[in-house]
Each structure stands twice: as C-alpha cells, then as structure tokens.
Structure 1
Amino acid sequence: MTNKFPRIEEPSLRADAARNRERILAAAEEVFLERGSDASLDDIAKRAKVGIGTLYRRFPTREALLAAANDERLMALANASRRRDHKLQPADSVRAFVSDLVAHACHYRGLAAALGAVLKSGTPGCHASGEEVRRLLERAQNAGAVRKDVSFEDLVCMVVAISLSVEQGSTTKPRIAHLTDLFLDGISVR
C-alpha cells in the first residue's frame, strides 16, 4: 500500500550528522520509555554519546525531539486510518483514529501532556496525523454524524484528557474505548 502522506524532504545531512541524529533518536526512545518524556535531555545526549550542543542543534526544543521520536508511529497511525477508511462509516473512522491516537499518547509517560505541541511540530508524521484528524472530522461533519462546532483542537483536548487519565492510573487501558465512546457520543449529531 502506498503512503498517502508524502514525506517532507529534510535537507541532506553530512554522514556524521545523520548518524548523530539517529543515535539521538534511538537514545531518546530508550530514555523516554524508561523515565518518561520529561527525562533529562543531558541524559539523552550522554546515552547517544553526543554533546548537549549537538542534541540542541538537531532538536532545539523538547517538543521537537518528542515529535521526531514519534514521527514514524504517527505516520503509521495516519496511514492505517487511510487504509481502513473505506470500510467504516465517517463517525466510526473518527472513533477508530481517536482511539489509536489515545493509545499512542500513552506510549510513554508524559507524552500525552505534550501531544498538542507535538502534533503542531510539522514533522511528516505529526503533519500527517493532524491532517488525518482534520480530514476525518470534516468527513464526519459533512455526513451529519458529528456536530459542526467540533474542532480539531476539541478532539486533541479529548485525546489528551483520556491519555492523561490512563497515564495517571485513574483509568485502565481497557477503559480507553469506553471513555472515547462517551466523548464521541457527546459530539455526535442526534
């Protein structure tokens, strides 16, 4: 299946710079999984065996690093949504993608709180996921299945709220579908 979301070409990096970038991303994934998304960027640089300046040259903010570390997963979510879209009614497509995004936001501790900024970062996967949410929402609104006053930001807030609830232990992962259903039922046209 072809990728429905074209990758934005990044400027070519020197071989050593590309290796450093990959080492930083691999180290970030490990450290974020171990300690959460608020883990020390110094620790990530040390694990990647690069200086902190090298990390900041590649990723000037924590959100930029989080976005890059999650880029491929977010691209995969958007592409999976596109592949199943023709099989689902518009409201069910929104429900499925929102559920996937909530599960993704629980990938490591602290990601949920940064999800809104991450989705706005402009990496290819973040862009594709944001565009997919907007496309699905518009499709459901045009079909009369979702209220017209519901926005992209509303859906992101809901994803963050459910994800934070799961992360903080007040909700179990099996309840994700239930909470997602409650929210989506609330925005449905009756």
Structure 2
Amino acid sequence: MDKSALRADARRNRARVLAAAEEAFAADGLAVPLDDIARRAGVGAGTVYRHFPSKEALFQAVVAERLEQYADEAQELIDAEAPAEAFYEYFPRVIEQASRNRAICEALGEAGGATYKAEVGERFRKNLTALLKRGQAAGIVRSDINGDDLRAFIIAALAVERHSPGDQRLVRVLLDGLR
C-alpha cells in the first residue's frame, strides 16, 4: 500500500497500528492475536485489515521497518574512518537490540531466511557485508567469512542472548572469534 496516497487520518491510524504491532510482536512474536494489536492501537480490527491483509503482512511490515533502521545504521558506518570500531560496535548493538525484539529474532532465524532475503533484508545484509569487507580489508576481521556467515552468527548470538540475557560474555567470545 502506498503510504503517501492515504488520507492524514488513515496515515495516523496506520502508524498507530505499526507502533502497537511492533510493541506486541517484540514481546510475543507472531503468536499475538490481531485483536490485541488493534486494541493497543486504539482502532478496530477492520482498520488493521484495511492496512494489512493479514497478521503475517503486518508482521512483515514491522520487521521490514526495523531491518530498514539496521540497514540505515550500517550504511552510515560503511565509510567510517575506523572500520574496526564501526564493525565491532555495530554488530553487538544489533544483537542487543534484536534480542529484545522477538519479532526480529523470529524473522532473522526463520527457515530459509525469507525475510532476510526480502528487499529490505537484502539491503541490511548488503550493508552489513560492506562493513565486514571494510573490516577485512583493514585486517581486523577474519577474511574467511561472508555476509551469510554473519547472518548465522547473528542467529547464534541471539540464541546466546536468549539463553543468558544481558550476559555479553558469550557474545564477546563470538566477536573475538571474528577477529
């Protein structure tokens, strides 16, 4: 749906639905009932369905918005003067933020990585890979890994974070392995 073609009130409702859905999906993942999202947004279920034909479409929109943010952050760091600092600060920050968002965990870890391979996921992967290559060119990141390996490391780090919430020790071990 082209957001620019919506009336002002419809744009506000869509934004409220997305915000409520992000909060709900972050806490409960895809299991959250659509009626709960509508209630959180202060709209009826019909309003949700007018903007998103299914809960899965709403989930994808929420995930896409978050991955877009991650892609933008990575894009800003690609030309950083200190590629090591950029990579080694960005990677754990994504892990920490994603670990608090069950929707992102589910999307990145899904079988086949469909979300990760969708347009916005591909942009995130491309920018993350560019950061990786800058680090590799500077000799501070292992040269035998690629962007797809980083996706696997993100999934592994998210699992570690879920197993030991807030304990960055194991994530640091993973990062040390990338050096």
Aligned to 2:5: 13
Please identify which structure carries the higher helix content: 2
2:141 counterpart of 1:151: no
| Deviation, structure 1 residue 160 | 1.7
Runs of 4+ in 1 over 6 A off after TM superposition: none
Q: Which residue of 2 is the match for residue 35 of structure 1?
A: 28
**Corresponding position of 1:180:** 171
Q: Hey, what does 2:102 align to over in structure 1?
A: 109
Aligned-residue CA RMSD in angstroms? 3.1
**Structure 2 residues not aligned, in runs of 5+:** none
Specify the SS of the correspondent of 1:174: coil
State percent identity of aligned pairs: 30
Aligned length: 170
Give the counterpart of 2:60 among 64, 84, 99.
64
Normalised by the size of structure 2, how large is the TM-score?
Answer: 0.72
2:91 is matched with which residue? 98
Instruction: Say if 1:117 and 1:173 are closer, same or farther in 2 by CA, change over 3 A.
Output: farther
CA displacement 1:29-83 (0-9 Å, x = unmatched): 3323443453223432343324253242497635413324525743563366458
Change beyond 3 A, Cα 1:82–1:148? closer
Q: What is the TM-score normalised by the length of structure 1?
A: 0.69
CA distance in 1, matches of 2:153, 2:117: 16
SS in 2 for 1:74: helix
1:75-90 alignment runs, 5 A limit = 77-78=73-74, 81=77, 85-86=80-81, 88=82, 90=83
Any stretches of 5+ residues in structure 1 without a counterpart?
A: 1-9
**For residues 165 and 37 of structure 1, what CA distance do their matches in structure 2 show?**
21
Are 2:74 and 2:127, in contact at CA under 8 Å, matched by a contact in 1? yes
